Chain A
Amino acid sequence: MQDFLTYGIYGTAIFLMLLGVYAVLVKRNLIKIVIGLSILDSGLHLLFVAIGFISGGTAPIFSPMAIESANKMVDPVPQALVLTAIVIGFGVTAVALALVIRLYRHHNTINIDEIKNLKW
């Protein structure tokens, strides 16, 4: 069971990451490339949250309905960090999309193969 979870959850995260990378490397459509980047991010975030999980732990919130003892809580640090990572990922995605729009205006295409004014 433990192995299944380990490989299953980590495997999913890595699969997402690699899927994203694959899209970035193979897709010709700029939008799809940006989506690939987002998927890559999602995989990373999933992995990050997953490594903070502790079997039987709950959210690290001392709520009044059920004051928990700290030793039953999952690691809060990855959650805090992943929040940051998500926001950063959003920022990058937004800028990427803006660039795609600019490129579309400039080249009238979103095919990355046709956007090669700069080389060598």
Chain B
Amino acid sequence: MSYFFIIIISIIAVGAILAFVRFVKGPTAADRVVALDTISFMAIALMVFLGFVLERFIYIDVSLVYAVLGFVGVITIARYLEGGI
């Protein structure tokens, strides 16, 4: 179990680093948002997974909330980019 866990974490961590590089590089705000969005999806997934590993069902709620906030956040920025706010 723990090996599996570590492997999964590692794969995602490498991905997160790639996304983070994009986040830093940009070049546009939209690029950064995309990168951040990807990282937050990783976090959502990992949180659920972590809940399983730590045997804490309640972590799933946290992940759901995180998903909602991330979604509305991206929409908001997108609306800002298109001049809607």
In the complex, what residues of B have CB within 8 A of residue A66's CB? 55-57
Report the minimal beta-carbon distance from A56 to chain B, rounded to whole angstroms.
Answer: 10
Report the minimal beta-carbon distance from B44 to chain A, rounded to whole angstroms.
Answer: 17
Q: Which residue of A lies closest to B54 (CB)?
A: A58
Q: Does A61 contact B (CB under 8 A)?
A: yes
Main DSSP-derived SS at the B contact region: loop
A59 to B50, CA, bound (A): 12
Report the minimal beta-carbon distance from A12 to chain B, rounded to whole angstroms.
Answer: 13
Interface size, B (range): under 10
Main DSSP-derived SS at the A contact region: mixed
A63 to B57, CA, bound (A): 8
In the complex, what residues of A have CB within 8 A of residue B55's CB? 65-66
A65 to B60, CA, bound (A): 13
Q: Does B68 contact A (CB under 8 A)?
A: no
A59 to B54, CA, bound (A): 10
Q: Does B58 contact A (CB under 8 A)?
A: yes
Name the interface residues of B43-76: CB closer than 8 Å to any CB of A: 54-59
In the complex, what residues of B have CB within 8 A of residue A63's CB? 56-58
Name the interface residues of A35-76: CB closer than 8 Å to any CB of B: 58-59, 61, 63, 65-66
Report the minimal beta-carbon distance from A4 to chain B, rounded to whole angstroms.
Answer: 16
Q: Which residue of B lies closest to A64 (CB)?
A: B57
Contact A65 B57 (CB under 8 A): yes
In the complex, what residues of B have CB within 8 A of residue A58's CB? 54, 56
A103 to B58, CA, bound (A): 44
In the complex, what residues of A have CB within 8 A of residue B58's CB? 59, 61, 63, 65
Name the interface residues of B8-67: CB closer than 8 Å to any CB of A: 54-59
Residues on A facing B (Cβ under 8 Å): 58-59, 61, 63, 65-66
Instruction: List 6 A–B pairs whose Cβ atoms lie within 8 Å, in order of A's numbering.
Output: A58-B54, A59-B58, A61-B56, A63-B56, A65-B58, A66-B56
> Beyond A58-B54, A63-B57: 4 further Cβ-contacts under 8 Å?
A59-B59, A63-B56, A65-B57, A66-B55
